[in-house]
Amino acid sequence: MANNPIIPNGPKPKSIFTTRNILLYGTLLIVAIYYILPLYVMIVTSLKGMPEIRLGNIFAPPLEVTFEPWVKAWSTACTGLNCDGLSRGFWNSVQILIPSVFLSIVIASVNGYALVNWKFKGSEIFFAVLLFGAFIPYQVMIYPIVILLREMGLMGSLWGLVLVHTVFGMPILTLLFRNYFSSVPEELFKAARIDGAGFWGIYFHIMLPMAIPIFVVAMILQVTGIWNDFLFGVIYTKPDIYPMTVQLNNIVNSVQGVKEYNVNMAATLLTGLVPLILYFVSGKLFVRGIAAGAVKG
């Protein structure tokens, strides 16, 4: 949008404390509290000791700050099977995340590029079905995929899950890249063909360097999505390589023992930390990612 300063003609408003402003900012303040309060409650709870939690008010700040729940959540909390905390899940998630993000983005970016610049007979139909695939409930495809992975010997393995993430990330990422590449002037592609570059030459020398921002957007989208996944993790891996979300659920919702709310909250925060940090660091790009993925879908 152009930066057109609007020059008011009438008399300048006298005060910022107009009824309109009080109402507007008041409403926004209440809204902000609704959204931010749960995060606040989590943080204060995770810093309290259990006796204080049992007696006190969830909104009250901790009288005595303790980091013990965090330490316990990370290294010794029990999932019912083992007691080495979330750290195992964290590293599992990292190991799942890196190849999944890489593979899904590579494939989707090549798809998007091929769909825009190298249309072949039926390519549009494949793309339409691919997009439609984004709306099929996962439950419909879950079991046959179990069979496929078993046949390939990948069931319960990390690479099986990587493959699943690549497949289910494909529709939205392909759409993202296709939309981006179709905004690149076609003449650029034509010029490169005259210059003798082929399919891969144009991809690596012309398209890839231009698409860096959209790669970042895709990365944010995928890191968040894959890190937050629960369903595929629980189905396609086995307990010792469960991703963090699955482990978190097992820790918090395990029926054995006394509920340690402070440890649970610390564990929950730890799991949410990666996407949260990514969200606050990436800021506008995150918004752009979800908007690009959603609006044009």
Partner 1 sequence: MSSVLIKDLTLKYDHLTILDKLNMDIQEGEFLVLLGASGCGKSTLLNCIAGLLDISAGEIHINGKNVTWAEPSERGIGMVFQSYALYPQMTVEGNLTFGLKNAKVPKPEIAKRIAKVAEILQIESLLKRKPAALSGGQRQRVAIGRALVREVKVFLFDEPLSNLDAKLRADLRIELKLLHKRLKSTIIYVTHDQVEAMTLADRIAVMKNGVVQQLDTPNGIFHRPINRFVADFIGSPSMNFFEGELVTLETGQIEFKTAELVFNVSDYEFTNATPVSGKASLGIRPEAVSTGANIPDNFFSCDITVELVEPMGSDTLVWTKLAGQNFRFRMDGKATVANGDKLRIGFNPSSSSMFDAENEDRL
Partner 2 sequence: MAQSVRPNTLFRNLNAKIAAMPMIITVLVIFVGCTIWTVVHSFTKSRMLPKLEFVGFDQYERLWGTSRWLISIENLFIYGACSLVLSLVIGFILAALLDQKIRFENTLRSIILFPFALSFVVTGLIWQWILNPDLGIQSVVRDLGWTSFAFDPLYNPDIVIYGVLIAGIWQGSGLIMVLMLAGLRGIDEDIWNASRIDGIPKWKTYLFIVIPMMKPVFVTAIVLITSGIVKVYDLIIAQTGGGPGIASEVPAKYVMDSMFLKQNLGQGFAASTMMLLCVLIIIIPYAYLEFGGRRNGK
Give residues in contact with partner 1 (CB under 8 A): 185, 187-188, 190-197, 201, 205-206, 209-210
Residues whose CB is less than 8 angstroms from the CB of residue 19 and which lie 6 or more positions away in sequence, other chains included: none
Considering CB distances under 5 to 8 angstroms, the limit depending on partner class, which of partner 1, partner 2, none binds residue 200?
A: partner 2
The yes or no reply on residue 67 touching partner 2 (CB under 8 A) is: no
The yes or no reply on residue 261 touching partner 2 (CB under 8 A) is: yes
Considering CB distances under 5 to 8 angstroms, the limit depending on partner class, which of partner 2, partner 1, none binds residue 182?
A: none
Of the chain, the end-to-end C-alpha distance in Å amounts to 23
CB of 202 to partner 1, least distance (A): 10
C-beta of 175 vs 241, nearer to partner 2: 175
Considering CB distances under 5 to 8 angstroms, the limit depending on partner class, which of partner 1, partner 2, none binds residue 185?
A: partner 1
Stretch touching partner 2 by CB under 8 A, among 103-111, 179-187, 188-196, 204-212: 103-111
Considering CB distances under 5 to 8 angstroms, the limit depending on partner class, which of partner 1, partner 2, none binds residue 190?
A: partner 1
Report the alpha-carbon distance of residue 138 to residue 174 in Å, rounded.
Answer: 18
Considering CB distances under 5 to 8 angstroms, the limit depending on partner class, which of partner 2, partner 1, none binds residue 170?
A: partner 2
Q: Return the percent helix, strand and coil in the chain, to nearest 5.
A: 70, 0, 25
CB of 98 to partner 2, least distance (A): 18
**Pair 45, 261: CB distance under 8 Å:** yes
Residue type at 40 in one-letter notation: Y
Residues whose CB is less than 8 angstroms from the CB of residue 133 and which lie 6 or more positions away in sequence, other chains included: 170, 171
Report the alpha-carbon distance of residue 189 to residue 45 in Å, rounded.
Answer: 56
The yes or no reply on residue 38 touching partner 2 (CB under 8 A) is: yes
Task: Please count the other Cβ atoms lying within 10 Å of the Cβ belonging to residue 287.
Answer: 13
Subset of 193-252 contacting partner 2 (CB under 8 A): 198-200, 224, 227-231, 235, 245, 248-249, 252
Considering CB distances under 5 to 8 angstroms, the limit depending on partner class, which of partner 1, partner 2, none binds residue 192?
A: partner 1
The yes or no reply on residue 160 touching partner 2 (CB under 8 A) is: no
**Pair 161, 233: CB distance under 8 Å:** yes
Stretch touching partner 2 by CB under 8 A, among 34-42, 61-69, 78-86, 180-188: 34-42
**Pair 212, 261: CB distance under 8 Å:** no
Burial code of 126-141, b = ≥16 C-beta within 10 A, e = fewer?
ebeebbeeeeeeeeee
